[in-house]
Amino acid sequence: MQLKIHESYRNIVSLADTDLIGKVFEEDIRQINVKEEFFKGEEVDSDKAIEILKDMDIEDATFNIVGKKSIQCAINAGVISKNGVIEIDGVPIGLGLF
């Protein structure tokens, strides 16, 4: 998984399954572009991702999460629930504030 923290007034955490970086997914009128410049960051395993997500949740960050492994980490970290996940072209996505 690739994890990147975009520092701003309210930090934005992007987490995506590595194999999805650079791809575009479309279904009906919905689309997500898993742009390299936004999502490509540090390669992390599940344990590291969960640790960072928990820390960033305490800091009141927002999250952009794409992919099965990444979504599962976010659920395990408690930053999203299964109800906060949508799918586009079979790819689970959690966007925005959870």
Tens of pLDDT along the chain (98 residues) come to 999 999 999 999 999 999 999 999 999 999 999 999 999 999 999 999 999 999 999 998 999 999 999 999 999 999 998 888 999 999 999 965 54
Question: Following DSSP, what letter does each residue of the chain receive, concatenated?
Answer: -EEEEE-SSS-EEEEE-GGGTT-EEEETTEEEE--HHHH--EE--HHHHHHHHHHHHHTT-EEEEESHHHHHHHHHHTS--GGG-EEETTEEEEEE--
pLDDT of residue 96: 55
Report the topology of domain 2-96. Answer: 3.30.1860
**Is the pTM here over 0.85, yes or no?**
yes
- The residues spanned by each domain of the chain are 2-96
Q: Output the pLDDT for position 98.
A: 45
